[in-house]
Amino acid sequence: GENVEQHPSTLSVQEGDSAVIKCTYSDSASNYFPWYKQELGKRPQLIIDIRSNVGEKKDQRIAVTLNKTAKHFSLHITETQPEDSAVYFCAASISVRGGNTGKLIFGQGTTLQVKP
Amino acid sequence: DGGITQSPKYLFRKEGQNVTLSCEQNLNHDAMYWYRQDPGQGLRLIYYSQIVNDFQKGDIAEGYSVSREKKESFPLTVTSAQKNPTAFYLCASSIPGARHLNTEAFFGQGTRLTVV
């Protein structure tokens, strides 16, 4: 089955610096890769996602890159702010129109601390 | 916070007792999931269901059981066979790949189970 590895487990940066979190996946059939942010005591919420037919996607200060050959994808946060401090999870899933998978496997999480 | 609701928020159980965690959604989603969250281990999939009256084991199903008699509801029972049940449990729902390629998962606010 699918396995997702996420690194680093903790990351501390100064406000304004960039942060990068990396994930690798094992199942080459995976084609949907979301990233979730979980603030302390709250539920995980989707911040960005990417499908296997694109290599990069940006949304303001957040970007995700995907390398299908190497089976890894990364989250990039630029100009970090203290409110970016949270736990970030990557995930991988197989999404097939007409199919019936949708099983979402998560990485172990990265605790990001942005120091003011 | 509408959409997907878990109850109760906190739950205490004596050793040897079964306990059922509730998860209800009004998003008309077909797929529902149960995850267990432990520090440093991310979100681990317990069970998932992609359609009413059908469910599949995830990576850590031992000691748990589920039912999916209604589209809106996916209760999780933690049985006495679960050796280390103290954890934070998250329920999620999504539209599976059969109808939409976007399989964003929406999470409930979680139930923290403590065995006393």
Lowest mean pLDDT among A39-43, A101-105, B42-46, B56-60: A101-105
Quote the mean pLDDT of chain B: 89
d(CA B105, CA A41): 18
Residue A102 has pLDDT above 70, yes or no: no
Regarding beta strands B111-115 and B10-13, do their DSSP bridges make them parallel or antiparallel, or are they unpaired?
parallel
Which residues of A fall below an 8 Å CB-CB distance to B? 1, 6, 9, 32, 34, 42-46, 49, 51, 89, 91, 93-109
Q: Which residue of B9, B43, B52, B104 is the best one to mutate when testing the A interface, meaning the one whose CB has the most A CBs within 10 A?
A: B43
Q: Are B71 and B57 in contact (CB under 8 A)?
A: no
Split at pLDDT 50, 70, 90, the class of A100 is very low
Distance from CA of B80 to the nearest CA of A (A): 26
d(CA B37, CA B6): 15
Put simply, the answer to whether A6 touches B42 (Cβ < 8 Å) is yes
Residue B112 has pLDDT above 90, yes or no: yes
B74-110 pLDDT, tens digit per residue, is 999 999 888 899 999 999 998 765 455 557 889 999 9
d(CA B10, CA A55): 42
Put simply, the answer to whether B96 touches A49 (Cβ < 8 Å) is no
Put simply, the answer to whether A106 touches B42 (Cβ < 8 Å) is yes
d(CA A72, CA A26): 9
Distance from CA of A95 to the nearest CA of B (A): 5
Q: Using an 8 Å CB-CB cutoff, list chain B residues near A42.
A: 109
Classify B7 as helix, strand or coil.
strand
Q: What DSSP state is assigned to residue B45?
A: E
First and final C-alpha spacing in chain A: 41
Structure tokens that stand for A53 in this block: 């037919």
Which residues sit opposite A35 in a β-bridge?
A48, A90
What is the CB neighbour count within 10 angstroms for residue A21? 23
Structure tokens that stand for B46 in this block: 């317990």
d(CA A106, CA A15): 27
Residue B9 has pLDDT above 60, yes or no: yes
Contacts with B58 (C-beta within 8 Å, 6 or more apart), sequence order? A103, B33, B34, B44, B45, B46, B47, B48
